[in-house]
A and B are shown apart, each in its own frame.
Chain A
Amino acid sequence: KQEVTQIPAALSVPEGENLVLNCSFTDSAIYNLQWFRQDPGKGLTSLLLIQSSQREQTSGRLNASLDKSSGRSTLYIAASQPGDSATYLCAVRYSWNSGGYQKVTFGIGTKLQVIP
């Protein structure tokens, strides 16, 4: 059974700091890993998708890395801003059954607060 863990559960940093969010998963046989952002009372917004053959993806101030063999991914946020305050979730896609369905398992998330 795939389990996804995100540490820390909550993080508070001053504006301008660079920060790293961590995601670990137990089964390295994944297809891809995705990072999402969720604002309070809202749905999930996709940030970055890393395929299993890739090591990292970048979008603006965000950089996500994937080390499949160790079951880890990190989301790096450069020069954090108050608008980055949200909950960040990672999700891994993997083969679930013999029928070929690929399931997605989510972590519980890291709640980030960037203080002005």
Chain B
Amino acid sequence: DAGITQSPRHKVTETGTPVTLRCHQTENHRYMYWYRQDPGHGLRLIHYSYGVKDTDKGEVSDGYSVSRSKTEDFLLTLESATSSQTSVYFCAIAQGTDTQYFGPGTRLTVL
């Protein structure tokens, strides 16, 4: 399995608080992605990174920001969490345009 970890694995927070999720890889892959998975919607891309300090928005980026200061770490921040951001968040990595490898996911609940 590709070396991808996500932290925390579970988090419960309150509306209006900032939350940061971390994705860490040991594969030295160039591309990193944040997705959210919700019933009936499948996986939707939030943000992605194509290199250190190079990031761009996905299809559901409102309310989220990202940072990538090192190849191995990709952080997702919910600036002010809302109940609509309750979801399972997955990080993925890829080298080039081939297989994406996924992390184990973070289950976030916003009360």
Contact = CB atoms under 8 A, between A and B. Distances in A.
Q: How large is the interface on B (under 10, 10 to 19, 20 to 34, 35 or more residues)?
A: 20 to 34
Interface of B: 33, 40-45, 48, 50, 56, 58, 90, 92, 97-105
A41 B50 CA distance: 28
Contacts, number: 48
Contacts of B92: 44
Interface string A24-60: 0000000110101000011111100100000000000
5 contacts: A41-B105, A43-B105, A46-B100, A93-B97, A104-B33
Contacts of A32: 97-98
Most B Cβ at <10 Å: residue of A49, A91, A107, A108: A108
A2 to B, nearest CB: 11
A70 interface: no
Given A42-B104, A42-B105, A43-B105, A104 B99 contact: no
